Structure 1
Amino acid sequence: MNEFHKKIAQAKQRLLKLHHDANSGHLGGNISCLEALMVLHHNIMKPEDRFILSKGHAAGALYTTLWSLGKLSDADLQTFTRDDTTLPGHPSGSSIPGVMFPTGSLGHGPSLAAGLAMATRYTHKPRHVYCLCSDGEWQEGSCWEALTFAIHHKLDNLTIIIDQNGLQGYGRTKDIISCEDLGPRISSFGAYLQRVDGHAPVAIKQALDERCAGQVSVVILETTKGRGTYFEDTLASHYLPLDDDQFQAAYKALEQGGSL
């Protein structure tokens, strides 16, 4: 995995530049899920599989991952969030490779993914559906309805990945709705639950490779919002972009073999 770790470091550098150049926020939640997106798209997903980014504010991490695969160019990324772009701050549009639905209004991804997984059963296609969520959006009833639907129908061709960084738009999840860990609640519904270090590519791959027949897979990523930046594990990482000095310091650390 050494070469792949280098690829992730390059993707992190490009993600930092992407958000800095666009003066765009939401960098913290992009950093917390980048390793998972890279592992999923480079090492797990097959051409027939489908992916839904339910946490649409992590569009930058998705675009950077697609760039690392050669599916988006530097010229494409330079238009990020600009006027007339095909790469908005929340993914939408047929010009983005692999994007099937616009996302950004949180809580919709699990339902879309469950529907795709159910449809796949009737079309007899060898397809697996992956959905990446934030932990904050699991305060919405639509997520739990989708989970109960998927569990009832034993959709073992569905994997829901939850980026559990403990922060959301208005504070910590434990302070907003008294929930610091979604694991016990999800497992009590009957899903096949795994939890891993969301910044450890090998552990992420092992969890995504492992499934249980007849059960929906849920992988909880234990992550840190804005990991390695000046605003690590702060609410500021949900909103603020990097200034020039902060960008240069973070970029240089990666260039010298450090990690975010």
Structure 2
Amino acid sequence: MNEGTLTKLSILADKVRLDTLKTLKNMGYGHLGGSFSIAELLAVLYGKQMKIRPEEPLWEDRDRLVLSKGHAGPGLYAMLANMGYFDKSVLATLNEGGTNLPSHPDRLKTPGVDATTGSLGQGTSVAAGLATGLRLAKKDNYVYLICGDGELNEGQCWEAFQYIAHFKLNNCIVIIDDNKKQLDGLTVDIMNPFDFQKKMEAFGFYTLKVKGDDIQGIDEAINELKTIEDQAVCLVLDSIKGQGVSYFEELKDNHSVKFNGDEINQAADDAIASLEKSIEEREHQYV
């Protein structure tokens, strides 16, 4: 990846953070931590890896994305808006009555959403089904399945993984966002996941692990996974909840953030100003 592409994707990731933060601050609360931890991943997928047509969201030859950790919908919406699926002004309607941007993604409401998700675990089965359908149709499209580490408390996920591995559905790239936290606290305290890479390998997956904010590493890992011909594939992201803004990384309750005090609102305003300045400077230099 050349420097220009790397910078472009880095800017895109920060635009996801910026627009997510503005949206949630405007609403007064929302799932910030898990949206931020996949910002770089979304930038690589939508900015480089996925075959998409924002002007034609239902294009038959597109790649599909299944956000099984549907609570990170605000981050996905920010990415879709930045890619041109809908106007950014729509982001301000998140979770309002009659909105096309519900709290969790709904494929019947939002252009660019391929699967309705939010009841944790079910996206894994949806992705397995999509990948099976594409294979039966002899299409070469990919399904990108994004799972949360807390979500993997659900047994349904492991049933779907077993199915994907058994049928060697290498057109379904399983991505685990290992950001170490879930709704009620640290994953290691609630239900110790141990080593996701070893577990997925034991399930029959060719598995790689990269830092969640390493754009080049994520891109190279996906490229490598696409070369695997006779095995299911998985990427484990070693990420941080609230990734990219130190205040939110360190915030204890950063799963669903409430903007209900002077300190957190000032931190949000500071982060917005910092992101806007950084984005502007890099766009001026490289774009």
TM-score band by shorter chain is over 0.9
Answering whether residue 272 of structure 2 is matched by residue 257 of structure 1, we say: no
Compared CA separation, residues 116 and 125, structure 1 to 2 (3 A): same
Aligned to 1:248: 269
Q: Secondary structure at the match of 2:93?
A: coil
Task: Please list every run of at least 4 consecutive aligned residues from structure 1 whose deviation after the TM superposition is greater than 6 angstroms.
Answer: none
CA contact (8 A) 1:135 1:162 kept: yes
Answering whether residue 186 of structure 2 is matched by residue 169 of structure 1, we say: no
Q: Structure 2 counterpart of 1:3, which letter?
A: K
* Whole-angstrom CA distance in 1 between matches of 2:185 and 2:234: 24
RMSD: 1.6
> 1:164 Cα deviation (Å)?
0.3
* Whole-angstrom CA distance in 2 between matches of 1:252 and 1:234: 19
The match for 2:34 among 29, 33, 36 is 29
* Whole-angstrom CA distance in 1 between matches of 2:252 and 2:194: 15
Q: Structure 1 counterpart of 2:266, which letter?
A: D
Q: Structure 2 counterpart of 1:41, which letter?
A: Y
CA contact (8 A) 1:26 1:58 kept: yes
Q: Structure 2 counterpart of 1:248, which letter?
A: D
Counting only pairs closer than 5 Å after superposition, residues 209-220 of structure 1 correspond to structure 2 as 209-211=223-225, 212-220=228-236
> 1:159 Cα deviation (Å)?
0.3
Answering whether residue 201 of structure 2 is matched by residue 187 of structure 1, we say: yes
Aligned to 2:242: 226
Q: Structure 1 counterpart of 2:7, which letter?
A: N
Counting only pairs closer than 5 Å after superposition, residues 13-92 of structure 1 correspond to structure 2 as 13-47=18-52, 48-92=62-106
* Whole-angstrom CA distance in 1 between matches of 2:103 and 2:214: 26
CA contact (8 A) 1:225 1:234 kept: no
Q: Structure 1 counterpart of 2:201, which letter?
A: S
Relative to structure 2, which stretch is displaced further, 247-256 or 170-179? 247-256
Q: Structure 1 counterpart of 2:254, which letter?
A: S
Q: Structure 1 counterpart of 2:30, which letter?
A: G
Aligned pairs, number:
258
Q: Secondary structure at the match of 2:114?
A: coil
Aligned to 2:159: 145
CA contact (8 A) 1:86 1:93 kept: no
Q: Secondary structure at the match of 2:112?
A: coil
Aligned to 1:124: 138
> 1:256 Cα deviation (Å)?
3.5
CA contact (8 A) 1:9 1:254 kept: yes
Percent of counterpart pairs with the same letter? 37
TM-score normalised to the size of structure 2? 0.85
Give deviations 1:203-232, integer Å, cap 9, x for gaps. Answer: 111111222111111101111101324232
> 1:26 Cα deviation (Å)?
1.3
CA contact (8 A) 1:136 1:173 kept: yes
CA contact (8 A) 2:9 2:40 kept: no
> 1:7 Cα deviation (Å)?
2.7
* Whole-angstrom CA distance in 1 between matches of 2:253 and 2:89: 29
Aligned to 2:256: 239
* Whole-angstrom CA distance in 1 between matches of 2:250 and 2:119: 23
Q: Please list every run of 5 or more consecutive structure 2 residues that lacks an aligned counterpart in the other structure.
A: 1-5, 53-61, 280-287
Give deviations 1:178-225, integer Å, cap 9, x for gaps. Answer: 224311111111101011111111111111122211111110111110
TM-score normalised to the size of structure 1? 0.94
Compared CA separation, residues 63 and 91, structure 1 to 2 (3 A): same
Aligned to 1:202: 216
> 1:151 Cα deviation (Å)?
0.8
> 1:257 Cα deviation (Å)?
2.5
CA contact (8 A) 2:80 2:112 kept: no
Aligned to 1:107: 121
Aligned to 1:6: 11
> 1:34 Cα deviation (Å)?
1.3
Relative to structure 2, which stretch is displaced further, 177-186 or 34-43? 177-186
* Whole-angstrom CA distance in 1 between matches of 2:19 and 2:191: 34
